[in-house]
Amino acid sequence: MLLSLVLHTYSMRYVLPAAVMMGTAPTYMLAWGAWRLLSAVLPARFYREVDDRLYTIYQSMVLFFFENYTGVQVIIYGDLPKNKENVIYLSNHQCTVDWIIADMLAIRQNALGHVRYVLKDGLKWLPLYGWYFSQHGGVYVKRSAKFNEKEMREKLQAQMKAETPMYLVIFPEGTRYNPEIPKVIADSQSFAEKEGLAILKHVLTPRVKATHVAIDSMKEYLDAVYDVTVAYEGTVDHKGQRKLAPSMTEFLCKECPRVHIFIDRIDLKDIPEEQMYMRRWLHERFEIKDKLLIEFYDAKDSKRRNKFPGKSVHSKLSLKKTLPSLLFLGGLTASMLLTESGRKLYVKTWIYGTLIGCLWVSIKP
């Protein structure tokens, strides 16, 4: 009985946030869909401005749960500018929370609505979200030989033509670093050795294609590239071996006390233009990430573990930036669910929004 109560209490720590975040999705999609129709006869720039504001509202609510609710400490190292910029954000990838980390940095620059992702193609089938990410300026890509460079260039060029602010998030490893799947890590290291590249321990060998297309397509539009390295505390076992990074569920259950984020702002002039040279440059950037993570996880001096070198700032997110969005979307959703017609519209949005979204992404990249 007591064990069941404990497990029930534990599960509620993520059930409530998940229910609110997913439960408000139809409300958000209805608001966005109405604006999409109204703006059809307006220049693309006007659509983007309001779309970015709507996205800011929804993601601010998400950050309420991932920061204010969990109480996680966000420790920032390096040079995160205070002002918003048009940037490409390159990060190591180890779990789904990595998506939220980009939001955590963007909101501190008042650029939350500008966040757009380069995502693996399979994610476009997510109900409601998959279609919307594409509409918000996200780019779906296939791996290796199936990668469509032309499609990605055309989408990015369309964004620039519409003067879309850009905070484009790319995870160059192409998949997550997972200590529980050693074969992926071994294959990545074997490939690096075969290509004459440095073997990496805590990150995978990066793939250059999406990064090269993004930088090459937008080189006159971008202000900088952010090279971001993320580490989650509590991801080492009693033997000192690295464990799997927290899932969104585990993060919402407050299993990660602190997240450490190292930012290196890189000028475009310091990045090679040719793909062959950019590939080596990108690998060198991941060598730097690997050294930071070796220091974080494996430093011989225990006092140097669980932190990156250099000065850091404990950055706390104000409730003023997140709570109003939660109250607005939550209240709007609750008012819809209070009436029979509202409940019918809510259910239909889930069903038909998902079907229309799947149809759209199947015929349009």
Q: What pLDDT, in 10s, does the model give residues 39-88?
A: 888 887 888 999 999 999 999 999 999 999 999 999 999 989 988 999 99
d(CA 107, CA 115) in angstroms, rounded, equals 10
Mean pLDDT to the nearest integer, 118-138: 90
d(CA 275, CA 149) in angstroms, rounded, equals 13
Q: With bands split at pLDDT 50, 70 and 90, how would you rate the model's confidence at 196?
A: very high
Q: Which helix (H) or strand (E) holds 115?
A: strand 115-120
Q: With bands split at pLDDT 50, 70 and 90, how would you rate the model's confidence at 309?
A: very high
Of 202, 191, 157, nearest to 44 by C-alpha is 157
Domain edges within the chain: 1-363
**Per-residue pLDDT at 334 exceeds 80:** yes
The per-residue pLDDT for range 78-119, each reduced to its tens digit, is: 989 988 999 999 999 999 999 999 999 999 999 999 999 999
What pLDDT is stored for residue 35 in this prediction? 92
**Per-residue pLDDT at 2 exceeds 50:** no
* Prediction pTM value: 0.93
Q: With bands split at pLDDT 50, 70 and 90, how would you rate the model's confidence at 299?
A: confident
* CB distance 112 to 103 below 8 Å: yes
Percent of the chain with pLDDT over 90: 75
CB atoms within 10 A of CB 345: 15
CB atoms within 10 A of CB 118: 22
The per-residue pLDDT for range 137-188, each reduced to its tens digit, is: 999 998 776 788 899 999 999 999 989 999 999 999 999 999 999 999 999 9
Of 243, 249, 205, nearest to 97 by C-alpha is 249
Kindly state the tokens that stand for 175: 């998949």
**Per-residue pLDDT at 7 exceeds 50:** no
Q: With bands split at pLDDT 50, 70 and 90, how would you rate the model's confidence at 300?
A: confident
Percent of the chain with pLDDT over 70: 96
CB atoms within 10 A of CB 199: 13
**Per-residue pLDDT at 1 exceeds 70:** no
* CB distance 63 to 246 below 8 Å: no
The per-residue pLDDT for range 269-281, each reduced to its tens digit, is: 999 999 999 999 9
